[in-house]
Amino acid sequence: MDAAEQLALITHGERYDMSFLQESHLRGLIALTHARRGDVGRAEQVLAVMGEIGTPKHFDASYYAIPYHIARARVALERFEAGLARQHLDLVAPHWRTMELWPLALEIRATIDWHTSGPHMALLTLREGRAEKRSNPPIGSAMSAMLNALEAELVLAADSASEAAALLTPSRVRRSPRLVVPRSRALLLAGRWEQAANLADRHSQRRSLPWSHRVDLMLISASANLRAGDRESAQERFDRAVEIASLTKTRTAFSTMPRTDFLTLSDGHPELVDQITPIPPLYPTPGDDVALSRRELRVLAELAGDATLTEIAGTLSVSTNTLKSQLRSVYRKLGASSRREAVQIGRRRGLLFVAEDEGDLLGGRRP
């Protein structure tokens, strides 16, 4: 698909003896290219031209219309018109078994299910779709990374941080920049404001990322800075995200933001507030009620192993009484009554998420 996108953009404006059907296919491919890059406005422009000049007879149901319908579905979803998006995907469904662009069709279908039926239904759609295609030739690394990133986001939306951690291993994140978005979000949802902001800021200017992903990272950083008490930095990042979103005509990224953070930072953007407020938030509220210190996070990490309290105290170079005092603080903050329950809550909230960016456990370096 990447080579096809480049060919479409190069060929655009250099068409000679193309048939009307081939030209319509090319325009649909160009619209899809812009939509995938997060530039919904340019995708809309191409689609508007197609609407003005028309398309060949029986085009809608043909194999050549697949890129066009996927692009239309992505644009419709950005307008929060999930029903219209689903209608366009239904037109490509008959080609599911043979289409080369099945990862793009699956991604948008799962995303529609996320917006309309919740993350659990979307995960089912995504995983069943990938399972059906398991016997097909392997897809490229970019397509695979796209689906992996969506799966990680859906797992986070389903409030299963421990499962997300398995999908966001450091080696995977290094190989795929797109996984930086769910990784940053995992840190935010775990209440690790500084780490979330640092990681998001570090990657929000990467040109290799689609505009929509860069907006996601700016909004994650805005939430993290706001919750860390830096309102000025939060507002700066939010306003920058709004500026880019206005230029590219994207909107759904704002529904991923914690609603209280969005409403706090969206003064001066009444039209955006009107668009986003009726949309249910896509993620659970970040766990800002759990504020474990670096030492307490280290203690929690040690609890997840098999070592006895005496052995943990030795590893941490503290007395057993000091360790017990730290344990009481951890239990109180987590609302746990036992070691096992503390570890379970910690996994669920993502507090045991491995953050190799700094070569340490989330929230603190190993001494």
Burial of 217 (0-12, 13-18, 19+ CB in 10 A): buried
Question: Can you tell me the mean pLDDT for 84-104?
Answer: 95
Domain 294-348 fold is Arc Repressor Mutant, subunit A (1.10.10)
| pLDDT bracket for residue 359 (50, 70, 90) | very low
Of residues 289 and 178, more confidently modeled: 178
Does the pLDDT value for residue 88 go beyond 60?
A: yes
> What pLDDT, on the 0 to 100 scale, is given for residue 225?
94
Question: Can you tell me the mean pLDDT for 281-299?
Answer: 74
Q: Where do the structural domains in the chain lie, given as residue ranges?
A: 2-139, 154-276, 294-348
Of residues 40 and 297, more confidently modeled: 40
Average pLDDT across the chain, whole number:
86
Question: Can you tell me the mean pLDDT for 41-54?
Answer: 94
Give residue-wise pLDDT tens across range 314-330.
988 989 899 888 888 88
Question: Can you tell me the mean pLDDT for 5-23?
Answer: 63
Give residue-wise pLDDT tens across range 292-314.
777 888 888 888 888 899 998 99
Does the pLDDT value for residue 4 go beyond 50?
A: no
Q: Which of 72, 96, 288 is nearest to 187 (CA)?
A: 288
Q: Which residues pair with 354 in a beta bridge?
A: 361
> What pLDDT, on the 0 to 100 scale, is given for residue 316?
87
Give residue-wise pLDDT tens across range 202-243.
999 988 889 999 999 999 999 999 998 999 999 999 999 999
List the single range of 32-46, 294-308, 334-348 with lowest mean pLDDT. Answer: 334-348
Does the pLDDT value for residue 1 go beyond 50?
A: no
| pLDDT bracket for residue 345 (50, 70, 90) | confident
Give residue-wise pLDDT tens across range 153-207.
999 998 877 788 788 887 888 888 889 999 999 989 888 899 899 999 999 998 8
> What pLDDT, on the 0 to 100 scale, is given for residue 355?
29
Q: Does domain 154-276 have CATH number 1.25.40?
A: yes
